Amino acid sequence: MLDVRKMALLRQLARLGTIAAVAQAEFCTPSAVSQQLSALEREAGVQLLRRNGRGVVLTAAGIDLAERTEGVLALLEDASAALAAARTELSGELRIGAFPTAVRTLLPAALVDLGATYPRLDLRVTELDPAQVPDALRAGVLDVALVHEYDYVPAEPDPAMVTEPLLVEPVYLASAAALGLSTGGPGADPILAGRDQPWIVGSPDTLCHLMAVRLCQAAGFTPRIRHYADDFAAVLTLVAAGQGVAVVPELALASCPDGVALAVLPAKRRTFIACRRGADTHPAIAACAAALRSAAAAHSIVRL
């Protein structure tokens, strides 16, 4: 009988391409991944991998098994959800991931609601960038998470995840009010007001960084980056101090200091609730989603 945990590693290899990347995503060593994949080959009785230079690639049989693994894992999640629904009370750990602005604005009310309604649920929160969420869900580090995408950085479909739209926010160009930046006449792109200014953007591996760069490139220029900051409260403080301009979403403005001018940009940020495929009917995840919807409804932001 094939070991589903080893099959999951094969699926990760098909997605990520290298054993080192799988080890990083699974929080283990490359040697441990190689040993598990070798054991899976022995269980399967056919060659699943072959050497390709210093790395490995999947054989036709390996590719087929990796593709079938998605359905197997989704069925197991669905079975786990059905068993949880048969219990009389929700209990155990629920591991929730969220990006920083959601942790500050949406999550507190949702956690209070969940804790009051289901006192035996052990709620655990991890703050992380949405780019890290798929690996964390696959590895079982998270059960449910908030992710987002921007108009200029659409999310790639992920066969291992199911998502539910939660809310959509306007996005702004933030600048020091003292600069008096003009946003141009009717129909002008406000992002052009920042063409000659230094920029404050997120770390290079974040969606916020990519969004800012692509917005500028769409307007015909490359931003001159001065500062990197992932905390929007810090970003807005730097903006107010005249250290540069930045792209910020609506939820970030809960901590907007005085002296910051905002211009609406032709872009939106969309937030989704994400979980492993098949797990969306799990009663704990469904309860978390309901609490998040209620928290989102309390904000004056357009719902999707």
**What b/e readout covers 143-180, taking b as 16+ CB neighbours within 10 angstroms?**
bbbbbbbbbbbebeebebbbbeebbbbbbbbbbbeeee
Selection from 90, 81, 122, 102 nearest residue 207 by Cα: 102
**What confidence score (pLDDT) does residue 147 get?**
94
**What confidence score (pLDDT) does residue 300 get?**
56
> Which residues fall within 8 angstroms of residue 111, CB to CB, at 6 or more apart?
123, 125, 291
Q: Is 299 exposed, middle or buried (0-12, 13-18, 19+ CB in 10 A)?
A: middle
**What confidence score (pLDDT) does residue 139 get?**
83
Are 164 and 281 in contact by the 8 Å Cβ rule? The answer is no
Give the type of residue at 249.
P
Query: Hey, CA dihedral for 110, 112, 113, 119, is it positive or negative?
Result: positive
Specify the CATH class of 88-161+274-297 in words.
Answer: alpha beta
Q: How far apart are CA 187 and CA 204, in angstroms?
A: 31
Q: What's this model's pTM, rounded to 2 decimal places?
A: 0.81
Q: Would you tell me which CATH number, out of the four given (3.30.360.10, 3.40.190.10, 3.30.70.330, 1.10.260.40), belongs to the domain 169-270?
A: 3.40.190.10
Per-residue pLDDT of the chain (304 residues), as tens digits, is 899 899 999 988 998 889 999 898 888 899 999 999 999 999 999 999 998 888 899 999 999 999 999 888 888 888 888 887 788 788 899 999 999 999 999 999 999 999 999 999 999 999 998 988 988 998 889 999 999 999 888 888 888 899 999 999 999 999 998 887 755 555 567 888 889 999 999 999 888 999 999 999 999 999 999 999 999 999 999 999 999 999 999 999 987 999 999 999 988 999 999 999 999 999 999 999 999 999 999 875 543 4
169-270 matches 88-161+274-297 in CATH topology: yes
Cα 238 from chain centre: 25
Give the type of residue at 175.
S
**What confidence score (pLDDT) does residue 303 get?**
39
**What confidence score (pLDDT) does residue 152 get?**
85
**What confidence score (pLDDT) does residue 249 get?**
94
Are 230 and 203 in contact by the 8 Å Cβ rule? The answer is yes
Give the residue extent of every domain in the chain: 4-84, 88-161+274-297, 169-270
The architecture (CATH level 2) of 4-84 comes to Orthogonal Bundle (1.10)
**What confidence score (pLDDT) does residue 188 get?**
64
